[in-house]
Structure 1
Amino acid sequence: MQRNPDRPPCTNCQNEAVINKGVVCEILPRKKHRPRVSRRKDGEPRNGIPSAYQSGAAESTSVEVEEEPLPDDSAHTYIGDNRGPRQSVYDLCHPRVPQEAHTSPNALTAGNISNRRTVFQPHELEYISQQGGFSWLPRNVSDALVRCYFAHVHFFLPVLEPSKFLDAYTTKENQDMNLLLLWSVFLAATNFVEADVLQQAGFSSRKAMKRAMYKRAKCFYDIDHSSDTLTLIQSVLLLSYWYSDAQEHTGASYWIGIAITLAQSIGLHRDPNTQSRNISHSQVEGKRHLTCRLWWTCVIRDRWVSLAKGRPMRIHDEDHDVKLPVMSDILNEFHTVSPEAQRQFLPPDLDKLADIWISLVKISDTLGRILRMHYRLKGPKPGVNDIDSLFHELYACQPPPLSALLDTSDIVRLHDCHIQIFHQAALTVLYRPYVLNAPASFPENSSSAWQKMVQGRARAAASTTNAFLERIIELDAVKKIKPMFITSLIPAMQIHLFDCKAGNALQANLGQNKLQLCMLILDNLRDTYWSAGVMFRLFDRAQKILLSQGNDSGPLASRNLDSPSMATPAPPPAPVGQDHVNTSPTDRVIPQFDHFPSHGAPPISLGGGMLHPNTMPGPDFNAVEQILSPGFYLSDVDTQSLLMNYSAHPADGGFPANYYDIQ
């Protein structure tokens, strides 16, 4: 302490000042110290939580909030087309950068906060921890899941950027990975991992592991603060692999709807190459491959879920102008994957797998037009020319068979069997009204020869489906079947079930044998896919009904109808410039089989006269005619009714009486 005679003394020093002859004290300032530095290394997780996800409660009081431009008043925002009122206003506010309703690459990230840290509040961190969101899987388990994703998911759902994902996964120990996306990848891949991987991960069944992966992904989706829109689209498309029971609304249709809404909100449904704004070519190319894949993945999932659920499609051809993908759209991003990551995680024959996905895009695009033509509520009834035109579209996009080639991997052969069955399913959907609901469904201007021809094509497609099922069994790959496969199997099963009603015992037994092969596949998928168990029970009950009716009316026949003589169908009209060749199911030309007799099942009548497929009431599970309707589908309520009144299979968990109360 130092005395200063020129300054007044403090209260405590007055007495001392008298004693010390008026000399008072001066308080020296405190010494400055360096701020304390945490001993924890940068990026090191605290309590198992990645540094990017640490709570920011302490820092939030000192963060200055900067005012940002309104998202709808930015030159980088997709504001929609001319039907909205903002278009003309935008031109007035931004005359130098007129927007003509096309996608800006900057719109993919502008307004998003992907570059900011994900800061969760303490209660959010607690919720994520309770759901297991920060519980890492053993490294060998996560490696197996990543391999399964690229082998069995990516080339039917190519939503990831392979180089970016694998770089983050292999070099940064998951610290900078988006955990919503990571758990979504693991959910989709769980369908295909081996049984020993499930055990190593600590799960008793595949369905149990899927439920855990879904919960971990969904908790991040529920409280997500930082994922950019593209990452959200990637994640929810992968989450569409989830479905557990009829009471849960967050199934495939729910997540696909979110993906489509998000994609349209940033203009992914518009061709970026046609936009007129001042964007460099490199900016457009930067995300073009990914956005093209994401949009067409939305289209694919929309078409097949519409077929499975009997619901309207969300995407219409006239509302988007994105060009069909090419090989570079899916292969370009693999070029920068490190050699070590390629060896460890990527399957062989990437070019062949990419070509198969492009075929799937084309088939699904045509399937959308088929569904709209047959099942629209308003509009004219399709004519002969409409049907033939769509047949030629399907013929043009038929994939060349690869499964018989010896120089291809088993993964390629399996993918080829899938795409061939998807193609046959689209053909069956095109022609099944003329088998299941004949003769009322025939176009007015159709000839008897045309009617026999289309019925033959429907049965040929259903039989070809069985041929590729046999190949999957030969590959011992039934457990690797994709979720969409079940939807593609149902049209063929409807044809086989209808043929079980034939008045001729030999034909009925043949239809029964074909149906049994499909049932065998579904039975083996019941421990993986909930929908496989539902369809198995449904068709099993239908067969029992036919069998009980057949005891009184003939072999597996509900009616004893006179059958016309066997007739050989006329060959299908060949595309322009090609001659028709009658070949095996593996050849490029669609095979033609001899016709079964036209048993002539009468139009479905349920007290209300003739029914259009779009006006079918809820299904009566004791009426086989409804199951055979071209527009048949199971609503969630009907599915629940079926499960609650039918004995369960052990593979499906038993479905006790209180099943829906304990989930």
Structure 2
Amino acid sequence: MPPSHGRSYKRAHVACKACNSRKVRCTITLSGPPCANCAVDNIPCEMKTRKRRRNTDILPAISDPGTQENPMSLEQTPPATRLCTSQSESPHWDTSGLAKDCEPSRWGQMTDAVRLSPDHSQQAHNASSATSSRDTIVVGHNTDESDIGVAFDAEADVPRQNDHQDEVETPPIANATSAWAETLEEHESDGNRVPFYPGDRRGPAFVIDICKPQRSTDSNHSFVAMPSLESLQPEEIEYLRWKGCFSLPPHPLQEALIKAYFHHAHSFEPVLDPQDFFCAYSKGQLSLLLLWSVFMCAATFVEDSLFFVNLFESPLTFKRHAFQRAKTLYDADYEKNKVTLIQSVFLMGHFYADAEDRLGPWHWNGIAISLSHTIGIHMLTSPARNGIRPLWRRIWWCIYYREVWLSMGQGRPMRISLDHCSTPMPGLYDTSPSCSPEYQHYAPEELGILFGIWLKLIEVTRIMGRILSLNYTIKGARPSRAIIERDENEIRANWIHDGNNDQSPVLASHVYQYRLHTQAAIIALYRPFLHEAPDGVPDDEQDGWKEFANSKLRTAAAHATHAINCMMAEDLIKFSQTIAVLTISPPIQIHLLEMASSKSLSNKLAKHNLALCLLALDEMRKSYVSADAAYKLFDRARIMVEKSLGEDAVVSRDLVAAANSSREAQGIETSEWLDDSMPVGHEFASVGLFSALWMPFANLIPDESLESSF
């Protein structure tokens, strides 16, 4: 076709016979057969191979030469795409020969092959002629379960000349700026539309109220036309391959990681739909970004021996590799599906990079919050409109859960205010549908019971968020005694009683960690009142209230330590979640405070309980860098407290001797030197020592040893 207006166009490297004969743009390199034109015209779509290879920068592909359904099989692809690569070719992941005996699996056998998530494939199919002339990835539709064909090609920027333009309407392709205008029209969810939230009536969404005053719902959630698919450049694909993003671990390790995730991580933070995940996983259509994020979270719960067999030094080494690959895919804007992207960055928040938290949990949870606002999962209504799934509610409350406990553990203000959210609390109706029989071995038998524990955990988290908002504000008024009693009663109303002795390790670990959360919430509730009484307490009762608060703190810390002791006795510390590092910190702080007590028995008991907690933290250091940082902080604090107590004892003896000498010489009484601001039984010299210990990670000093470990 001669160029128009003096503009020259590049010819596509690959096109089907029908599009080639009609000289129109073919999307077979995006969606595979049939292309968009053949699908619209309802005619057979046959591949036309080019005679001369023009693109020298082609990714190797793995394809089955015997599969006739794959249009990009070895008989049809250019010679350069016949190259096969093993995992040993990856410069960062040398696991060649480890998965040769694995049973066939799309994901297990696929190493350097590039996969597209369902969102990529769907967008590519819908893009048709509106996609710009950029190099794209193609996944062949191979029916063999052991291989997936991959081709790398370029699409020409040729204007489409369709003979049936006036008869057939193509799927809507949105301009990047048209989403706001489309919210004025009600569209339900379908394969061609994506969720979009224009905000509330403070912003442009007020126009919706003007244009549609009689609309049936107050929800501003919309589904707008899918934006154009921006394909990755060849050098970007090559960079992802060089970084090892397409080189998955051997199949046995993958299976162990998936099973570990759904046994130990999913039931604490159910941000995935198990059935959807397993279906996509078995078909090889799962997002790579999400898969690497799942692998990273699950590495903590897999036996070390399995990593050693696969040439990894430790689970921490694998975890760092998985995080680097997930982050590389995220930086490349690989994932287009907003929900999948939110799930992925939420899971990436389980990686603790360094004390500055530039790439740590606080950073990634903030991204998850921001992305959630763009599709409005914080403003869901009940009942939900068509296209909005219960999974969205679970995702939002998981994000809120991490935000609350990260805020408590790191001493930072929360970035979520429930006053500006309408998403209802999750209930039993939000549970995931049961898995198909072929996938049930991935999930624990007690999945229903574990989901019930999660519902209680979210309720305790909601109360905890309210405590942080009321009790720890800088300018707000102190809560009253009635509010404190209400919060404690609501926490205890969600208490889980002791189960039977034959419960599984998975269930037992969840129960113990849940108790850590409840006791940490009670400690957070009463901790501000060690030095001041609640609002409305008379002056003559304030000392009694401080002693009452101190008693509540000691009891909660003792109960938390008991749960930790049970976990160690039953060898369950290895199943601790990342948040467990934060929930174990409040009881440690109380034990440190009790070490300063002048009562000998209380001092000895505090030292014993502190030793148990530090022992648990020391065990967690094998899995989490955050545990290593917390252990160093509290161990150094213990040394400082003991040193301070030793110095205080010497000073006290000198003061007593001097006072006795003065009394004998002058007949005057010694004066009290205890500080009334501290709880009864605590030395004055410890005042101010714990002010920097309430928030263990607020001003953490980076340690050089952390740079070499995760």
Q: Provide the TM-score with structure 1 as the length reference.
A: 0.74
Structure 1 match to 2:144: none
- Which residue of structure 2 aligns with residue 6 of structure 1? none
The superposition leaves residues 462-501 of structure 1 with CA deviations (integer Å, 9 ceiling, x where unpaired) of 0001111111112211111111001001110111011100
| Greater mean alpha carbon deviation, residues 195-204 or residues 520-529 | 195-204
Q: In structure 2, which of residues 281, 286, 293 is the aligned counterpart of residue 177 of structure 1?
A: 286
**Aligned pairs (5 A) from 1:405-420:** 405-420=500-515
The equivalent position to 2:638 in structure 1, one of 532, 539, 543, is: 543
CA distance in 1: counterparts of 2:652 and 2:637, whole angstroms: 12
Q: CA deviation at 1:112?
A: 4.7
**1:148-198: CA deviation from partner (whole Å, max 9, x where unpaired):** 10011101111111001111222x1x2x21101111111111111110121
Contact 1:462 1:493 in 2 (8 A): yes
AA matched with 1:124: E
Residue type matched to 1:541 in 2? R
Match of 2:260 among 140, 148, 170: 148
Distance 1:67 1:350, change over 3 A: closer
Question: How far 1:44 moved relative to its partner?
Answer: 6.6
Equivalence for 2:475: 378
SS at match of 2:292: helix
- Is the CA contact 2:323–2:351 (under 8 Å) kept in the aligned structure 1? yes
Instruction: Tell me whether 1:301 sits opposite 2:389 in the alignment.
Output: no
Q: Distance in 2 between matches of 1:500 and 1:183?
A: 44
Aligned-pair distance for 1:460?
Answer: 0.8
Residues 376, 37 of structure 1: alpha-carbon distance in 2 compared, 3 angstrom cutoff: same
Q: Deviation string for 1:541-567 (max 9, x for gaps)?
A: 122122223333349999999xxxxxx
The 5 Å alignment of 1:48-197 reads 48-50=112-114, 52=116, 53-54=137-138, 58-62=154-158, 68=174, 70-75=178-183, 76=187, 77-84=196-203, 86-93=204-211, 97=215, 100=218, 102=219, 104=221, 107=223, 110-112=224-226, 119-170=231-282, 172=283, 174=284, 176-197=285-306
Q: How far 1:304 sits from its partner (Å)?
A: 0.5
2:454 equivalent to 1:357: yes
The equivalent of 1:445 in structure 2 is 537
Question: In 2 relative to 1, CA 71–374 (structure 1 residues): closer, same or farther, beyond 3 Å?
Answer: same
Q: Is contact 2:180-2:198 (8 Å) kept?
A: yes
Deviation at 1:370, TM superposition (A): 0.7
Cα distance, 1:271 vs. partner?
A: 2.9
Query: Matches of 1:414 and 1:555 in 2, distance apart?
Result: 45
Q: Distance in 2 between matches of 1:118 and 1:184?
A: 23
The match for 2:593 among 498, 506, 526 is 498
- The verdict on how the C-alpha distance between 1:120 and 1:202 changes in structure 2, with shifts beyond 3 A counting, is farther
How far the C-alpha of 1:288 sits from its partner, in A, is 2.6
> Distance in 2 between the 1:168 and 1:234 partners?
15
Determine the structure 1 residue equivalent to 2:315: 206
Amino acid at match of 1:382: P
Aligned to 1:218: 327
Between 1:205-214 and 1:135-144, the stretch displaced more is 205-214
Pick closer, same or farther for the CA change 1:290–1:552 going to 2, 3 Å. Answer: same
Q: 1:285-327, CA deviations, whole angstroms, 9 ceiling, x for partnerless residues?
A: xx43101101100110110110111111011121112221112
Mapped to 2, the partners of 1:558 and 1:391 lie a distance apart of 42
C-alpha separation between the residues in 2 aligned to 1:226 and 1:244? 23
Offset at 1:205?
1.8
The answer to whether residue 574 in structure 2 is matched with residue 479 in structure 1 is yes
Question: What's the CA shift for 1:419?
Answer: 0.4
Cα deviations across residues 582-611 of structure 1 (Å, max 9, x unaligned)? xxxxxxxxxxxxxx9822566997xxxxxx
Q: State the one-letter code of the partner of 1:548.
A: K
Q: What residue is the counterpart of 1:323 in the other structure?
A: 424
Query: Are 1:625 and 2:707 matched, yes or no?
Result: no
Report how far residue 374 of structure 1 moved: 1.8
3-state DSSP of counterpart to 2:409: helix
In 2, the alpha carbon distance for the partners of 1:627 and 1:559 equals: 29
Normalising by structure 2, what TM-score? 0.70
User: One-letter code of the match for 1:235?
Assistant: S
C-alpha change, 1:392 and 1:117, in structure 2 (3 Å) is: same
Q: Is the 8 A contact 1:466 1:518 kept in 2?
A: yes
Q: Is the 8 A contact 2:273 2:391 kept in 1?
A: yes
Distance 1:119 1:67 in 2: 15
Show CA shifts across 1:335-389 (max 9, x none). 2x2212102x111111111111111101111000111112212111222122112
- Map residues 425-574 of structure 1 onto 2, 5 A cutoff: 425-435=520-530, 438=531, 440-441=532-533, 443=535, 445=537, 447=541, 448-554=543-649
Distance in 2, matches of 1:145 and 1:326, equals 28
Contact 2:644 2:686 in 1 (8 A): no
Native 8 Å contact 1:500 1:556 kept in 2: no
Distance 1:374 1:604, change over 3 A: farther
Aligned position for 1:586: none
Work out the CA distance in 1 between the residues paired with 2:259 and 2:652: 48
Aligned residue identity for 1:87: A
Work out the CA distance in 1 between the residues paired with 2:651 and 2:525.
27
For the residues of structure 1 that align with 2:504 and 2:315, how far apart are their CA atoms?
A: 26
Q: Which residue is equivalent to 2:701?
A: 640
SS at match of 1:626: coil
Once residues 209 and 363 of structure 1 are traced to their aligned partners in structure 2, the CA distance between those partners, rounded to angstroms, is 33
Match of 2:680 in 1: 598
Report if aligned partners of 1:152, 1:480 keep a CA contact under 8 Å in 2.
yes
Determine the C-alpha separation between the residues in 2 that align with 1:557 and 1:112.
75
Counting only pairs closer than 5 Å after superposition, residues 241-252 of structure 1 correspond to structure 2 as 241-247=350-356, 249-252=358-361
Q: Helix, strand or coil: the match of 2:515?
A: helix
**Is 1:233 matched with 2:334?**
no
Distance 1:132 1:324, change over 3 A: same
CA contact (8 A) 1:547 1:555 kept: no
Residue pair 1:43, 1:50 contacting (<8 A) in 2 also: no
In the aligned structure 2, how far is the partner of 1:299 from the partner of 1:555?
Answer: 49
Question: What whole-Å deviation, never above 9, does each CA across 1:515-574 have from its counterpart, x for those lacking one?
Answer: 00000001111121111111111111122122223333349999999xxxxxxxxxxxxx
Kept after mapping to 2: 8 A contact 1:550/1:558: no
Native 8 Å contact 1:243 1:530 kept in 2: yes
Q: State the partner residue of 2:669.
A: none
For 2:445 and 2:653, how far apart are their aligned partners in 1?
Answer: 50
Distance 1:145 1:556, change over 3 A: farther
Q: After superposition, give the CA deviation of every residue in 1:106-140 in whole Å (9 maximum; x if it has no partner).
A: 54xx3556xx8784221111111122100021000
Aligned residues: 535
1:339 aligns with 2:437: yes
**Which of 353-362 and 264-273 deviates more?**
264-273
Tell me how far 1:237 sits from its aligned partner: 0.7
Sequence identity (%): 29
AA aligned opposite 2:174: E
State whether structure 2 residue 410 is matched by structure 1 residue 314: no
